DNA sequence: CACCAGGCAAGTA
DNA sequence: TACTTGCATGGT
């Protein structure tokens, strides 16, 4: 079986990132329930702010299905306030608790054991759960091999010319899942490493390509484009 | 001060 | 179908 050029490229970039930064130990969180809640709270939000919100929920002993389901929406919103969009996220968490209760008999373990394709379809029906949040839960809580695509992933690989800058979530996901072995450990580490290198070298404005571990993998054209931004 | 962070849904054309 | 806008705190 021949290994495609794309596969080699993606694996080479992964090895470069791992060599530079080592294992990232994602997802941060003491329990699978906490991982799931964190996935919602971190939507378009710096993780440092999510940590504060999680800390508040822990202090109030609310990090379980039963407890979170019973809390007044107002109080929940105030507790998760540091993570931003607190009114919306409180509603989203409530919807997720309802989904867990109705569809999986109040059992997180049962949900995480479900067929990943079925689980994904179900999660996407929950108001406030989009593709990235769903895939984060499936990969980092359920441990199933789906590739999580985020803003950094799109930016990095479009700047490297591997996907169009207009590519949608599913397009980018297909680049990885169509070319890499379906290995949850690999997907786990790869996504975490992309966030790491993105924070350091691929911010929205002012890309700092100098010293980036992925710099050797820029095509000539992409390298020119990157320089021209300076 | 401006800008952005580990998105998503609702509204508009 | 493809864009635009609102949601909000806290760090650089």
What chain A holds in terms of domains, given with CATH numbers, is: 5-24+148-229 (1.10.1670.10), 32-141 (1.10.340.30)
Whether CB of A111 is under 7 Å from strand B: the answer is no
Residue by residue, pLDDT tens for chain A (230 residues) are: 678 999 999 999 999 999 999 999 999 999 999 999 999 999 999 999 999 999 999 999 999 999 999 999 999 999 999 999 999 999 999 999 999 999 999 999 999 999 999 999 999 999 999 999 999 999 999 999 999 999 999 999 999 999 999 999 999 999 999 999 999 999 999 999 999 999 999 998 877 888 999 999 987 677 766 655 54
**Other beta carbons less than 10 A from residue A193's beta carbon:** 23
- Return the H-helix or E-strand segment holding A79: helix A73-79
Give the predicted TM-score (pTM) of the model.
0.96
Residue A219 in tokens: 């095509």
Q: What are phi and psi of A164, to 5 degrees?
A: -70, 150
So what's the pLDDT on residue A92?
98
SS3 A143: coil
Whether CB of A46 is under 7 Å from strand B: the answer is yes
Whether CB of A83 is under 7 Å from strand B: the answer is no
Q: Which residue is nearest to nucleotide C10 (CA to C1')?
A: A49
Residue A141 in tokens: 């809580």
Q: Which residue is nearest to nucleotide B9 (CA to C1')?
A: A128
Residue A72 in tokens: 């007044």
Q: Stated in angstroms, how far is A2 CA from B6 C1'?
A: 34
Are the beta carbons of A42 and A50 closer than 8 angstroms? yes
For A187-221, the pLDDT digits (tens) are 999 999 999 999 999 998 877 888 999 999 987 67
């Amino acid at each position: 079986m021949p290994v495609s050029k794309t596969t080699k490229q993606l694996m080479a970039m992964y090895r470069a990132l791992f060599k530079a930064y080592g294992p990232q130990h994602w997802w941060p969180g003491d329990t699978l329930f906490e991982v799931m809640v964190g996935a919602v709270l971190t939507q378009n939000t710096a993780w440092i702010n999510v940590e504060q919100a999680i800390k508040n929920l822990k202090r109030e002993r609310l990090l379980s299905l039963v407890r979170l389901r019973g809390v007044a929406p107002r109080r929940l919103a105030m507790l998760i306030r540091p993570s931003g969009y607190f009114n919306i996220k409180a509603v989203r968490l409530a919807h997720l608790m309802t989904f867990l209760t109705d569809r999986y008999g109040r059992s997180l373990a049962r949900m995480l054991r479900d067929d990943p394709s079925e689980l994904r379809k179900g999660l996407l029906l929950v108001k406030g759960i989009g593709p990235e949040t769903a895939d984060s839960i499936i990969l980092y809580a359920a441990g199933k091999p789906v590739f999580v695509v985020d803003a950094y992933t799109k930016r990095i690989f479009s700047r490297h010319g591997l996907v169009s800058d207009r590519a949608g979530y599913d397009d980018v996901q297909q680049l990885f899942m169509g070319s890499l072995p379906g290995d949850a450990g690999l997907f786990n580490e790869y996504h975490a490493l992309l966030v790491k290198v993105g924070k350091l070298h691929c911010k929205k404005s002012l890309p700092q390509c100098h010293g980036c571990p992925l710099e050797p993998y820029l095509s000539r054209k992409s390298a020119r484009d990157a320089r021209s931004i300076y």
